Amino acid sequence: MIRLDKYLSDSGLFSRRDASRLIRSGAVTVGGMPLRDPSAKIDEETASVAVKGQPIGYERIRWYMLNKPADTVSTTDDDPKSVMNLLPPELRRVGLFPCGRLDIDTTGLLLLTNDGPTAHDLLSPKKHCEKRYRFTCLPLDEDQVRRLEGGIELSDFTSKPCKVTLDDPGHGAITVTEGKYHQIKRMFLAVGSEILSLARETFAGIPLDPSLAPGEWRTLTEDEIALLHTNSDHSGV
C-alpha cells in the first residue's frame, strides 16, 4: 500500500506538492471515483488511477540507458555538467542515480536507476560484472598486452586479470570486472602507454544501443533488466 500523493509523484509527472493539489481539487480518480485525500492508501499494484481522465501507471523500479557524452560527470550533485541534466525534469524527480561512474572525458554506456540493491550488487567486486571499453592509445605491443591482461600492480591495488584485443597497435577493446577510479588509464600508463580516448560499449552483457546519439537515453527493455538481475542477488521487486 502507498499514499496516493506518493503514487503520483513516483510517476515522475508531478511533484509531491502538485500531486497533493490535484488530489484535493478532485482531479484524481481511483477506480473511477474522485479521491480527495492525499494521504489515502491505495494498492499500487492493482489501483486504477487517473488524473483528469488520463491513466497514471505506477513504476517503482526504473532503469535507463544513457549514451554519456564527453565533458559530463556521473553524479547526482547540483552540477551543471551532471549527466542528470540530460534527462527531462520528470525523471529527475524519481531518485535516479548512475549505476557506476564514468570519468568526465569517458563516453558511452551509463545505466541510471533508482534500484539501489541491484545497483550495489552489480558494482560489487565479488560479482565480477564485465564492462567492455573501446580505446585509442599510444601504441601497444604484445608484451604490454600480456602485462595488462595478467594484472597490474598499482600504488593502491593490483588490477584483476582482464581481456585486451587490438585492432591495431593504437586501437582496441578492453574488458574489465572492476571499476576503480581512473583504473584503465592508470593500467595503460603503468605499461608505458597512454589512453587517448575511452568509451564504454557494454555493462553486464548489455550493449550500448547504437541508435542513441551522445546525450540520448532510453528505458531498458524487460530482457535487459532481466539480464541485470541474473548478475545480482536481487529480483528488482
Q: Are 186 and 176 in contact (CB under 8 A)?
A: no
| DSSP state, residue 25 | H
**Cα gap 76→229, rounded to integer Å:** 24
Per DSSP, the residues of 170-231 read TEEEEEES---TTHHHHHHHHTT--EEEEEEEEETTEEPPTTPPTT-EEEPPHHHHHHHHHT
Contact 153, 172 (CB under 8 A): no
Pairing of strands 28-30, 33-34: antiparallel
Asked if residue 112 lies in contact with residue 206, where contact means CB atoms within 8 angstroms, the answer is no
Q: Which of 43, 103, 121, 141 is catalytic?
A: 103
The answer to whether residue 79 is catalytic is: no
So which residues are the catalytic ones? 103
